[in-house]
Amino acid sequence: MWLKFATLVLLVQIISAAPANDNRRIINGTDTTIEEFPFMISLRASAGSHSCGGSILSSWWILTAAHCVNVLTSPSLQSVQVGRTNISRLADESVYKIELVIPHPEYNSSDSYVNDIALIKLREQLELGETVQPVLLPAPCFELEEPDLGVTLIGWGYNNDGVASTTLQRVEYYVVPNEECDAIHDNTIYPSQICAAEPGGGKGQCSGDSGGPLLHDGVQVGIVSWSIKPCTIAPYPGVLTKVSHFLEFIYENTDLDPPQCDLRRCT
């Protein structure tokens, strides 16, 4: 099965000679619904426009990327919209104000956006239901291994035309092993990061998808962090925060009940 994935990586490298003005972006997603992904949220800017994605951890807490929030301004200038397939600027019962933002203390935007993870506490408790549910978290230090490398990305990021979608999108593609991803990117890819791509490019994350979840069998394994522009251009995989390496941070700072296992930082 390693040979199968190595072939996929080779295809990515071969197509790296594709012209830089290729207009493909996030690309090539398909419409989905909040009923299928009821943990998905839209992080809204002050004017109500979508800025980043995120996921519900509990009725009080949201998981997103550190680069999507600011401890000084987010509580007053951003809000969280839940339970919507189609997002809008309108403020209704689906929009919640932010009380507190907790970025990872070792987040570093100048070093490959390492530790790009943050927690948001809401001012009011979510009313859980069919379209508002917590996401499933992985086991501590969980790693995807071949041949089971298929993943799903969801979000409202930019589409092929460079326009942010108002309807929730999903794409299916593959995890790229860290050593392969590190060899492709100029920036260091750390063990606490995870990479994903479609061989040949043309599928994956783009602006507006930051903070949103990468899923494997319904479990959130990644948080969208950064990518080379133009989005999804071969051979560059998108880079995400690996959730399984940050469970200690999540459980220590939220009201979630930790599992009965060792949550010490993965090496």
Is 40-134+247-253 the same fold as 2-32+136-244?
yes
Tens of pLDDT, residues 4-63 = 434 444 433 433 333 332 222 346 678 999 999 999 999 999 999 999 999 999 999 999
Q: How many CB atoms lie within 10 A of CB 124?
A: 10
Tens of pLDDT, residues 186-229 = 999 999 999 999 998 888 999 899 999 999 999 999 999 999 99
Torsion-angle region of residue 221: left (phi > 0), alpha (psi -120 to 50) or beta? alpha
CA distance 206 to 131: 25
- Tell me which residue of 117, 120, 137 sits closest to 61, measured CA to CA: 120
Tens of pLDDT, residues 143-185 = 998 888 999 999 999 876 667 788 999 999 999 999 999 999 9
Contact indicator for 1, 211 with CB cutoff of 8 Å: no
Token pair 């043309």: residue: 202
Which phi and psi (to 5°) does residue 6 adopt? -60, -35
CA distance 166 to 225: 21
Residue-level length of the chain: 267
Contact indicator for 90, 67 with CB cutoff of 8 Å: no
- What ranges do the domains of the chain cover? 2-32+136-244, 40-134+247-253
Q: Which CATH superfamily is domain 40-134+247-253 in?
A: Trypsin-like serine proteases (2.40.10.10)
Catalytic residues: 67, 116, 210
pTM: 0.89
Q: Which CATH superfamily is domain 2-32+136-244 in?
A: Trypsin-like serine proteases (2.40.10.10)
* Range 98-109 average pLDDT: 98
pLDDT of 29: 76
pLDDT of 18: 31
